[in-house]
Amino acid sequence: MEAWRSLIRRAVARLQAIGLDTRDWTWGGGTVLMLRYQHRQSRDVDIFINDVQYLSYLSPRLDDRETDDLLEYHEQANHLRLEYPEGEVDFLTVAPVFPGLNPQTMSLEGLPGDIQLMQDKEILGQKLHYRAAGFTGRDLYDFVAVTRGDPDLLRDRELQHIAERRRDALEVALASPNCERGYDGIDQPSLNIPFSAARSTLLDWIGSR
């Protein structure tokens, strides 16, 4: 089984164990982009919870149900990470970058009902806003792959404005050797775009001062 399939099933089982409805959370992050664009492999799942109080209920510290094969966990005020042999499940609570953007829905074999999926614009917006200082090579690759698949995002002024406000942090992160190493280490990339070209794509889109 692909890592992400196993991880989303683990995540949903844990959410169900504490009684959360699918309307109480949204699946976002790079794995959702992978499902849409098939541009790389992913070994982590990001679940965004609507109410921060639920994070403590999800913690193995308080509830050890659905923790088979759990290797380790890390708990913060707005973030819970569960580590399994095949990858990581991250439960997060963050304010939406674009609050008026409603999630999409999809069904997955083996899972009950429809799951809410974050839209591409919100996923990229969160990467550019919340992760700007630690923007990774994987974030850059996702940006290039998604905007090639949906060029209208490059013409979205709301999204561009988010990046412009975080320009300084993004420039520093993109100059880091770690960012380039992360980019070159993408698992099974479908795009043959060198790091320098990808970085220029993002910086040119943000624009110079």
Query: Which of 5-19, 21-35, 64-78, 174-188 bottoms out in mean pLDDT, i.e. has the lowest?
Result: 64-78
Q: Rounded to the nearest 5°, which phi and psi values hold at 150?
A: -135, 80
- The domain limits of the chain are 3-117, 120-206
Q: What is the mean pLDDT of residues 84-107?
A: 96
For 3-117, CATH number out of 3.40.50.720, 3.30.460.40, 3.40.50.2300, 3.40.50.920 equals 3.30.460.40
pLDDT of residue 113: 80
Q: Which of the two residues, 63 and 161, has the higher pLDDT score?
A: 161
pLDDT of residue 209: 45
Q: Give the chain's mean pLDDT.
A: 94
Each residue's pLDDT tens digit, 124-180: 999 999 999 999 999 999 999 999 999 999 999 999 999 999 999 999 999 999 999
Q: What is the mean pLDDT of residues 92-109?
A: 94
Q: Rounded to the nearest 5°, which phi and psi values hold at 95?
A: -70, 135
Q: What is the mean pLDDT of residues 74-97?
A: 96
Q: Which amino acid is at 12?
A: V
**What pTM value is reported for the model?**
0.94
Query: Which of 24-28, 63-67, 99-103, 187-191 bottoms out in mean pLDDT, i.e. has the lowest?
Result: 63-67
Q: What's the 3-state SS for the chain?
A: CCHHHHHHHHHHHHHHHCCCCHHHEEEECHHHHHHHHCCCCCCEEEEEECCCHHHHHHCCCCCCCCCCCCCEEEEECCEEEEEECCEEEEEECCCCCCCCCCCEEEECCCCCCEEEECCHHHHHHHHHHHCHHHCCHHHHHHHHHHHHHCHHHHHCHHHHHHHHHCHHHHHHHHCCHHHHHHHHCCCCCCCCCCHHHHHHHHHHHHCCC
pLDDT of residue 66: 67
pLDDT of residue 1: 59
What is the percentage of the chain residues whose pLDDT exceeds 90?
Answer: 86
Residue 51: pLDDT above 60? yes
